[in-house]
Chains A and B, each alone.
Chain A
């Protein structure tokens, strides 16, 4: 059974940094692209970033380009999202998803506020 478990969310001040993790199990992690998708409170889904199975090939939404970095460790079966220069509008529940969404974690909440 595919399992994705996000962690690392929390309260951070504007301009601060945070690193999210997504521990994957139940499938051959290195064989699949992975994505981060976020959902602001009461709002719809917003694609954030994706990375290829080998870690080569990354893409970002314009809203996070230059501030967020996606990466993965295929030995630890873990996906990461390094977030810096955080803004209030980055406040959201952050989900990791296998490929373009065939499995999803429960999400980790990031709140950017002073």
Chain B
């Protein structure tokens, strides 16, 4: 099974400053079809998760362009260029390359 490891687990950030979350998989997420099924999701307090980024770097519909994803193989990064108050919540990476699908532990983004 693929294990997803996120760092840090908690990230206090000043409003307007950038934030970065890393996600590492225990094996390559490159699918046999050539795609890499690595997504990033945001879960605001009391809300269901929401898809932000799919296939490493593609922003989902309606996601602000301050969110960006990068990486390849086993190492991936979510960046927020300028954190806003509405970005508070928990961020998860998820792999859907191989069953069983798996999530990282989550990174809690909070405002300093």
Q: Which residues of B contact A103 (CB under 8 A)?
A: 51
Number of A-B contacts (CB under 8 A): 53
Cα distance A103–B51 when bound, in Å? 7
Interface residue SS majority, chain A: strand
The answer to whether B49 touches A59, judged by C-beta atoms less than 8 angstroms apart, is no
- Which residue of chain A is the closest to B96 with respect to CB atoms? A100
Q: How large is the interface on B (under 10, 10 to 19, 20 to 34, 35 or more residues)?
A: 20 to 34
The interface on chain A, measured as residues whose beta carbon lies within 8 A of the other chain's beta carbons, has a size of 21
Which residues of chain A (72-104) have a CB below 8 Å from chain B?
Answer: 95, 97, 100-104
Does chain A have a CB within 8 A of B102?
Answer: yes
Binding site for A on B (CB under 8 A): 1, 37, 39, 41, 43, 48-51, 54, 60, 90, 92, 94, 96, 99-106
Given contacts A45-B92, A47-B103, A106-B48, 7 further A-B contacts (CB under 8 A): A35-B101, A44-B90, A44-B106, A100-B96, A101-B39, A101-B96, A104-B50
Binding site for B on A (CB under 8 A): 35, 37, 44-47, 50, 59-62, 95, 97, 100-107
